[in-house]
Amino acid sequence: MRTSLVVLAVAGALIMSTALTPAYAQARTDVRVGLVLEPPNLDPTAGAAAAIDEVVYANIFEGLTRFDANGAIIPALAESWEISGDGLTYTFHLHSGVKFHDGTGFDAEDVKFSFDRARAEGSVNAQKALFADIASVDAVDPRTVRITLSRPNGNFLFNLAWGDAVIVAPESAETNATKPVGTGPFAFIEWQQGDHVDIARNPDYWGTPVRLEKATFKFIGDPTAAFAAMMAEDLDVFPNFAAPETLSQFASDPRFEVVVGSTEGETILAMNNSKPPLDNPKVREAIAHAIDRQAIIDGAMFGYGTPIGTHFAPHHPDYVDLTAISGYDPEKSKALLAEAGITDLTLSLKLPPVEGYARRGGEIIAQQLAAIGIKTETTNLEWAQWLEQVFTGRDFDLTIVSHTEPLDIGIYARGDYYFQYKSEAFNQIMADLGNETGPAERSELFKAAQTRIAEDFANGFLFQLAKAGVQNAKLKGMWVNAPTQATDLTGVYWEE
């Protein structure tokens, strides 16, 4: 024992003296990406975790359509498509020469398999609702797929762009969780659980080959550790940097670039619409007017974030700025409370474990509510507890959460969704939207939907979550915004 200890110690001393830093001469072809959360598995069709898509979306797996950097829907595995006049039949023409990473060919049968699997009865797809309108999927010939819907769905091409709708092969579907096999420009190499995932360029890619040869995703949950890793240049980019208070330090360092964009995360003060006295619109209106959005953005998010007045992303072309409807006006709040006959009110405020918007934001909101005479009882929860108590159990008055799914205003039509907003008028707008495929009409309906929930004060609408990232100043081609949760590396390269 004693001798082996000595050997170890000598080895340790040697290592300390021979430590080197790597030097890079030419333009690099690898990239090291820092992510806050490690994905629980790598199968985007069997789990809700955004961290899965942050590794595999567009890199390893592809769907028939996909989101581009600005959130537009563009073709992916489907070269083109036709939609029948009644909006019920979609015919997709697939790219030829596409192969999965294990060498098996890709054809219409794989598409049929993927969608039938996702919508099957025992499916564990976290976004099963995306496929709810599909009546049948038919492989017409190896390069043509016909999907028939049970009712028109103006969102269908958008739904197919989600990470949950990627195409998988029957041969590898069961093992994608640990050994993902897709059709994308990068192939999976190795996953060192708890530390990193390596992917490398797929030499047989059907489309434009990527410029990077290799990419590593490293998982660093602790903000201080993330800061150290960026500063020590152990990482080249951290697209969602968890320590906004240090961003100014990176901005003033010529080695780095700070990139601030928008996300699909509508951050809301959700209210339990069915629980007295919050079932009274006057009380919800009073709470809405008590909120000073800019104070929350400055205090909790270090200034990063865009105020919203409804549940819609400000960068979306159909967004309407409705912040004035629920503008900051504490005097009006007090008057509304008096009108509703509320004198001594204490509400529970249950916060998920998000340091920024939830925990810091919760303190600020508690103060702002205290200013109009509403007391709050704050409880800090873990995610699993939050899902059980708030989301499933509906045992809450108020909570703060960011809804990060793209274009998810439809949750207000779900009646039994956790905040339990119920409105016939809103449901009608959503039903019309489902049947409508004309772009101008759809735009009008989206605007009407936004106005409806804003005027009903369904929730307190706070701000759109910003995406603040840090990257090496020579790295180009990363997404600025996050139209979906992804780290698309297909256009990334190093400037020489």
Partner 1 sequence: MFPFLLNRLVSLALSLLAASIVIFFVLEVVPGDPAAFMLGMNASPDTVAALRHQLGLDAPLLERYFYWLFGLFRGEFGISYTYRVPVAQLVGDRLWISLPLAIYALALSTLIAFPVGILAAARRNSAADVSIMGITQLGVAIPNFWLAMLLVLAFSIGLRWFSAGGFPGWNAGFLEGMKALTLPAVALALPQASILARVMRSSLLDTLSEDYIRSARAKGLTRRQTLWRHALRNALIPVLTIIGLQFSFLLAGAIIIENVFFLPGLGRLVFQGITQRDLIVVKSVVMILVFAVILVTFLVDMTYALVDPRLRRQA
Residues that bind partner 1 in the complex, under the rule CB under 8 A = 5-6, 8-9, 11-12, 14-16, 18-19, 21, 38, 40-41, 47-49, 121-129, 177-178, 192-196, 218-222, 224-225, 228-229, 231-234, 353, 382-385, 387-389, 391-392, 403, 405, 408, 411
Q: Which residue has the tokens 């008055």?
A: 397
Task: Give the list of residues 6+ apart from residue 316 with CB closer than 8 angstroms, or none.
Answer: 71, 407
| Euclidean distance between the first and the last CA atom of the chain, given in angstroms as a whole number | 52
Task: Give the list of residues 6+ apart from residue 376 with CB closer than 8 angstroms, or none.
Answer: 346, 347, 348, 349, 365, 366, 369, 370, 398
Smaller CB separation from partner 1, 107 or 198: 198
Smaller CB separation from partner 1, 181 or 286: 181
Q: Report, in Å, the least distance between residue 229 CB and partner 1.
A: 5
Q: Report, in Å, the least distance between residue 6 CB and partner 1.
A: 8
Q: Report, in Å, the least distance between residue 216 CB and partner 1.
A: 10
Instruction: Determine the Cα angle at 223 with ends 217 and 226, to 5°.
Output: 40
Q: Report, in Å, the least distance between residue 114 CB and partner 1.
A: 17
Q: Report, in Å, the least distance between residue 404 CB and partner 1.
A: 9
Q: Which residue has the tokens 């619409």?
A: 273
Q: Report, in Å, the least distance between residue 151 CB and partner 1.
A: 18
Smaller CB separation from partner 1, 198 or 432: 198
Q: Report, in Å, the least distance between residue 423 CB and partner 1.
A: 20
Which region holds residue 43: left if phi is over 0, alpha if psi is between -120 and 50, else beta? beta
- As a whole number of Å, the CA-based R_g of the chain is 25
Smaller CB separation from partner 1, 294 or 392: 392
DSSP 126: T
DSSP 95: P
Q: Report, in Å, the least distance between residue 146 CB and partner 1.
A: 26
Smaller CB separation from partner 1, 151 or 255: 255
Smaller CB separation from partner 1, 101 or 218: 218
HSE-up (13 A, CA, CB side) for residue 8: 5
Smaller CB separation from partner 1, 18 or 346: 18
Q: Report, in Å, the least distance between residue 71 CB and partner 1.
A: 18
Smaller CB separation from partner 1, 219 or 302: 219
Locate 282 and state its tokens: 């006057």
* CB-based burial label for 123 (10 Å; 0-12, 13-18, 19+): middle
**Measured distance CA(438)–CA(48) in Å, rounded:** 31
Smaller CB separation from partner 1, 18 or 208: 18
The continuous run of DSSP H or E covering 234 comes out as none
Smaller CB separation from partner 1, 89 or 389: 389
Phi, psi (deg, nearest 5) at residue 399: -150, 160
Q: Report, in Å, the least distance between residue 209 CB and partner 1.
A: 27
Locate 468 and state its tokens: 């603040």
Smaller CB separation from partner 1, 331 or 416: 416
Task: Give the list of residues 6+ apart from residue 124 with CB closer than 8 angstroms, or none.
Answer: 46, 47
Q: Which residue has the tokens 């006959």?
A: 341
| Order of all β-strands in the sheet with 89-94 | 78-83, 89-94, 144-149, 134-141
DSSP 387: I
Q: Report, in Å, the least distance between residue 177 CB and partner 1.
A: 4
HSE-up (13 A, CA, CB side) for residue 113: 14
